[in-house]
């Protein structure tokens, strides 16, 4: 089963963040472009688009998935660009669900009309 096929599980806190070695293993399962930041406590990726409208469409599409999953990444978007930062806020670190959400973000991006994406 791919990471994107898994359901995000809400974290109620009280669990330790994922260890760096496990995060690096799961990172290797994601598509390209994802990096670990803040001492392996967050996932980060930048997506490129041809214009503001297409970047906004991606944010809206992924926002709907995030709401359905109950797992909400931090979005930063501007003309032709969306940056995502994902981590589990309650534990200030990563869980498997963060990697599931990252894979879902890639799946939403891949589902967009390729003519709309920037080179």
**At 53, which CATH number?**
3.30.1360.20
pLDDT band at 119 (very low <50, low <70, confident <90, very high): low
Provide, rounded to the nearest whole percent, the portion of the chain with pLDDT above 70: 90
Question: Is residue 115 scored above 60 in pLDDT?
Answer: no
In a domain, 42, yes or no: yes
- 40 assigned to some structural domain: yes
Q: Determine the average pLDDT of the residues in 73-95.
A: 94
Asked whether residue 105 is domain-assigned, the answer is: yes
Q: Is residue 3 part of a domain?
A: no
Looking at every residue in the chain, the average pLDDT score rounds to: 89
Number of domains, the chain = 1
Task: Give a yes or no: residue 2 inside a domain.
Answer: no
Within-domain flag for 117: no
Strands, DSSP E only, in the chain? 35-37, 42-48, 74-78, 81-86
Q: What are the pLDDT digits (tens) for 19-32?
A: 999 999 999 999 88
Segment 35-59 shows an average pLDDT of 95
Query: Residue 61 is part of which domain span?
Result: 18-111
Instruction: Identify whether 7 is part of a domain.
Output: no
Sort 7 into a burial class: Cβ within 10 Å, 0-12 / 13-18 / 19+.
exposed
User: Does the pLDDT value for residue 112 go beyond 70?
Assistant: yes
Is residue 6 included in any domain, yes or no?
no
Model pLDDT, residue 1: 63
Angle, nearest 10°, between helix axes 20-29 and 96-111? 20
Kindly report the pTM of this predicted structure: 0.89
Among 102, 39, 106, 46, CA closest to 71: 102
């Amino acid at each position: 089963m791919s990471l994107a096929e898994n359901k995000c599980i809400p974290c109620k806190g009280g669990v330790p963040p994922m260890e760096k070695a496990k995060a690096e293993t799961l990172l290797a399962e994601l598509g390209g472009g994802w990096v670990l930041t803040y001492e392996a406590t967050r996932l980060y990726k930048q997506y490129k688009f041809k214009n503001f409208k297409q970047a906004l469409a991606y944010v809206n599409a992924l926002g709907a998935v995030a709401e359905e999953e109950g797992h909400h990444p931090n979005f930063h978007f501007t003309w032709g660009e969306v940056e995502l930062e994902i981590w589990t806020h309650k534990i200030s670190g990563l869980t498997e669900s963060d990697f599931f959400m990252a894979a879902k973000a890639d799946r939403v991006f891949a589902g967009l009309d390729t003519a709309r994406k920037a080179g």
